[in-house]
Chain A
């Protein structure tokens, strides 16, 4: 009952938010919250550190941008095409990466994402350094004009909520439980008869698809897909968001994304603009050294100890 009330409050806040806060900023926040939550599925629940999620985020951004701008697909379909192509890319990279564990997994995903990055740079359809600009927002369901920021916000909110619900459902399903079991003790899960490679791969593909959904939605919001989306700095940022918010918690990645995006926005207009990577790096180091449970994880621990 308490949880239900919590969800209701979050829903009410997100419905009312564009009345008080600039909608484009909120949409950016939502997209990154979905991106980080998708990433958390593989790192927090699967225990696999992917350092290549920018490839899915950026890849879907390009594909859906191309689908909307050049093929002229309806907005929903364009986003879907982007997300699904990220899933296919995830299947390819995941199949290779799950052949190794631990740090090798991280290095392989990083290397494969870098390869995708080079492909994006040299493919003519991505617009190279300029990016893919002027992607039309179009109409939602053929009738709601998305050029209006506020309508666009509710469209994005609907997509991201669907994504969050899917993630929460996956985590609490038997599939999610097996995934956590594999994370905690791979050999034991294997001895219980689970085909752990298939579980890992499925989790990876699901995570990649949802990361792609976030990337594709972001393209529609900003009407732009660029190399920044696919660069390995982006892979690092999503790791940081998840870690800062709390690994393996449902709300953590969204909180982490909120903090980082707000911080970036705040710093970008101040004298510290050029220091953003340094600030992120310092937060990274501080998190790893003394804050490994993340904001939500620490909060949960604090509540458990005091009550």
Chain B
């Protein structure tokens, strides 16, 4: 057996590290979605947390009313919420193209209030438990810590989605269009690419990513109308730290912030809810453009 590390039993240390990795995986997937949306729409999607919550509720609804279990929800919930996102983009966000970016933030803030307020009214502010899928119940003792299968799965699945997104953007034709759209939408349109459609798809994809994180979170955090409302602020801080420039930047920043938060819980529990904001402040002083951002 390992002896205590720095005076802390390894069970505690690695347990918190794993929790940190899980939170970090959520930060990564959510900030990745924000970056995709920001790239094409120039909008900071304040409704991201609410849509993440919708993903969890879609999972719950699919199971309760359609008998579709966790594995089906993993595919269908992002599709449903992504479709809602496409609708929102077509009906509301589209009208904001060409005016100050701040209005996009304000509009999506209003949307977040509407969505979260409605769900609080309908389901109350307390959480509804969602069972861990049968295949992932239990865990394995690794000697230095106990690893619940589901938690390991969350980290693996999130990373897989991040890698898939990276592949989509960097190695495929549609990814090339998306990057070109981020760089210069008017020129891209002049080449005959349907940029408005691309923009809609980008929003739908970013939102689907948020919903995917919501499905993963459902068995861990319970399904709660307000599960995304504080999370999104932390994700904003993560985005400021990493910058919205690169996919890998978002993933690396998200995971490392989760780990830092987890470690803080071990060494200085009182500071764990603020540590990411402190890191943000330090980064702003030392490297205002963010760790992976290009200086303006």
Interface residues in chain A, defined as those with a beta carbon under 8 Å from any beta carbon in chain B: 49, 51, 96, 99-104, 106-108, 110-112, 114-115, 118-119, 122, 232, 236, 239, 243, 274-278, 280-285, 287-289, 292
Contact = CB atoms under 8 A, between A and B. Distances in A.
Contacts of A112: 277, 280-281
A108 B240 contact: yes
B107 A284 contact: yes
Nearest to A102: B101
Interface in B260-279: 270, 273-274, 277-278
A283 B110 CA distance: 8
Given A96-B284, A278-B117, A281-B112, A110 B274 contact: no
A281 B110 contact: yes
Given A100-B240, A277-B117, A281-B117, A108 B103 contact: no
A100 B120 CA distance: 34
Contacts of A96: 281, 284-285
7 nearest A-B pairs in the assembled complex, by CB-CB distance: A284-B110, A281-B113, A277-B117, A281-B114, A115-B277, A278-B117, A111-B237
A126 to B, nearest CB: 15
A288 B106 contact: yes
B111 interface: yes
B147 interface: no
A243 B106 contact: yes
Interface in B64-94: 92
B240 A107 contact: yes
Contacts of A288: 96, 103, 106-107, 110
Contacts of A232: 233
Contacts of B278: 115
B95 to A, nearest CB: 6
A284 B102 CA distance: 13
A281 B112 CA distance: 7
A108 B114 contact: no
Contacts, number: 114
Contacts of B281: 96, 112
A277 B101 contact: no
Contacts of B296: 101
Contacts of A122: 270, 273
A115 B274 contact: yes
B166 interface: no
B21 interface: no
A52 B83 CA distance: 32
Contacts of B44: 103, 106-107
Nearest to B91: A289
Contact of B95 (A49, A104, A277, A289): A289
A274 B121 contact: yes
A96 to B, nearest CB: 5
Contacts of B250: none
Given A99-B284, A108-B240, A275-B121, A284 B277 contact: no
B145 interface: no
A103 B43 CA distance: 8
Contacts of A102: 101-102
Given A118-B274, A277-B120, 4 more contacts: A103-B38, A119-B274, A232-B233, A277-B116
Contacts of B110: 280-285, 287-288
A247 to B, nearest CB: 10
A305 to B, nearest CB: 21
A281 B96 CA distance: 17
Contacts of A114: 230, 233-234, 237, 277
Nearest to A279: B117
Interface in B182-240: 230, 233-234, 236-237, 239-240
